[in-house]
């Protein structure tokens, strides 16, 4: 059995740990609130740019553009979004597990796919396994601006255009609530969600539809990646907040357990001392 001093040391160290996890929970909660606002604020822009792009691409009688055209798939690109650090529960592992299973099912060699890693955890995971990471970015802020990922999104879309890969998917954790997230797979390229709807608007534009789409379609594809990142960040902060709350609760349970053990051990020590004193007094009589 541990001594009273050892038990007291465990109680103090666990209290310090709980203070750290509580502070991390509060920090994540603040970041989570702002990330959710950012993700929701981006939705109207996404809906509008999709509406405009579809109206021009479809309403003009159908435009033949490489980003709208399906071609034989020789190589697939995967954008994988994770965090730069851990302590976020199963946030990272769920995404990486889903991507790994998909690659194992679809591909027989590394030559058949390419990975664009957004986040240190994804970069390290695939690099350690010798998988084909062709682009990477780390150190993205908790509340990213489009400028923070503009280079990698532009390079990724450009690689599809020049034939480095023939289709592009993004994997990320979709935010549902503070305690619930799900891993999503979205096909980004070729753009297959530009379908006619009742909201299709006839635009008068100049110059031609082809020239407008030459600029608009890459911007639309890049905005899809940015929207997924905002969603992923909201999920990351929610997952870390929940993980740190659970860690704090577990620490409190440990403190209560160690305190009970300490009190019992102290009572046993006091009882033993009293017994020895009484026994000694009786021996002197």
User: Which of residues 234 and 6 earns the better pLDDT score?
Assistant: 234
Same-domain pairing of 88 and 199:
yes
Instruction: Give the mean model confidence (pLDDT) for residues 138-149.
Output: 92
Same-domain pairing of 248 and 234:
no
CATH number for the domain including 134?
3.40.1380.10
pLDDT at residue 184, as a whole number: 95
Same-domain pairing of 122 and 133:
yes
pLDDT at residue 249, as a whole number: 95
Query: What percentage of residues in the chain have a pLDDT greater than 70?
Result: 89
Same-domain pairing of 137 and 266:
no
Arithmetic mean of pLDDT over the chain: 88
Q: Is residue 29 part of a domain?
A: no
pLDDT at residue 168, as a whole number: 95
Number of structural domains found in the chain: 2
Q: Is residue 124 part of a domain?
A: yes
Q: Given a cut of 90, is residue 270 above it in pLDDT?
A: no
pLDDT at residue 269, as a whole number: 75
Q: Is residue 82 part of a domain?
A: yes
What is the three-state SS of the chain?
Answer: CCCHHHHHHHHHHHHHHHHHHHHHHHHHHHHHHHHHHHHHHHHHHHHHHHHHHHHHHHHCCCCCCHHHCCCCCCCEEEEEECCCCCCCCCHHHHHHHHHHHHHHHHCCCHHHEEEEEECHHHHHHHHHCCCCEEEEECCCCCCCCHHHHHHHHHHHHHHHHCCCCCEEEEEEEEEEECCEEEEEEEEEECCCCCCCCCCCCCCCCCCCHHHHHHHHHHHHHHHHHHHHHHHHHHHHHHHHHHHHHHHHHHHHHHHHHHHHHHHHHHHHHHHHHHHHHHHHHHHHC
Q: Given a cut of 60, is residue 104 above it in pLDDT?
A: yes
pLDDT at residue 103, as a whole number: 95
Same-domain pairing of 218 and 91:
yes
Same-domain pairing of 55 and 193:
yes
Q: What tens digit of pLDDT does each residue of 42-88 get?
A: 999 988 888 888 777 766 555 677 788 888 999 999 999 999 998 99
**Which residues have CB under 8 Å from 169's CB, separation 6+?**
76, 77, 78, 79, 185, 186, 187, 188
Q: Is residue 69 part of a domain?
A: yes
**């390419």: which residue's tokens?**
114
Q: Is residue 34 part of a domain?
A: no
- Under the banding of pLDDT at 50, 70 and 90, the label for residue 216 is confident
pLDDT at residue 61, as a whole number: 59
Same-domain pairing of 227 and 120:
yes
Of the residues 240, 255, 275, the one at which a domain ends: 240
Six token digits for residue 85: 């650090």
Residue 95 is part of which domain span? 39-240
CATH number for the domain including 18?
1.10.287.80
Q: Is residue 111 part of a domain?
A: yes
pLDDT at residue 246, as a whole number: 95
Q: Given a cut of 60, is residue 284 above it in pLDDT?
A: yes
Same-domain pairing of 172 and 147:
yes
pLDDT at residue 194, as a whole number: 63
Same-domain pairing of 156 and 175:
yes
Same-domain pairing of 17 and 81:
no
Q: What is the CA radius of gyration of the chain?
A: 28
């Amino acid at each position: 059995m541990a001594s009273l001093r050892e038990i007291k040391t465990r109680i103090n160290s666990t209290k310090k740990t709980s203070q750290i996890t509580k502070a991390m929970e509060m920090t994540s909660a603040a970041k989570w609130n702002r990330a959710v606002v950012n993700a929701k604020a981006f939705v109207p822009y996404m809906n509008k740019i999709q509406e405009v792009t579809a109206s021009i691409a479809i309403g003009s009688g159908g435009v033949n553009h490489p980003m709208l055209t399906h071609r034989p798939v020789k190589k697939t690109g995967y954008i994988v979004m994770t965090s730069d650090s851990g302590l976020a529960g199963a946030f990272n592992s769920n995404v990486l597990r889903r991507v790994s299973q998909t690659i194992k099912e679809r591909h027989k060699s590394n030559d058949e796919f390419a990975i664009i890693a957004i986040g240190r955890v994804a970069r390290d995971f695939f690099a350690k396994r010798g998988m084909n990471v062709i682009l990477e970015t780390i150190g993205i802020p908790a509340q990213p601006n489009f400028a923070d990922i503009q280079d990698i999104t532009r390079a990724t879309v450009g690689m599809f255009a020049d034939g480095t890969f023939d289709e592009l998917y993004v994997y990320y954790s979709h935010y549902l609530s503070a305690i619930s997230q799900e891993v999503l797979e979205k096909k980004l390229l070729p753009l297959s969600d530009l379908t006619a709807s009742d909201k299709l608007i006839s635009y008068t534009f100049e110059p031609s539809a082809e020239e407008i789409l030459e600029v608009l379609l890459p911007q639309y594809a890049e905005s899809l990646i940015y929207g997924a990142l905002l969603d992923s960040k909201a999920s990351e902060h929610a997952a870390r907040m929940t993980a740190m709350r659970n860690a704090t609760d577990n620490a409190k349970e440990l403190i209560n357990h160690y305190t009970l053990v300490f009190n019992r051990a102290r009572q046993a020590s006091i009882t033993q001392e009293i017994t020895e004193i009484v026994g000694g007094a009786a021996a002197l009589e």
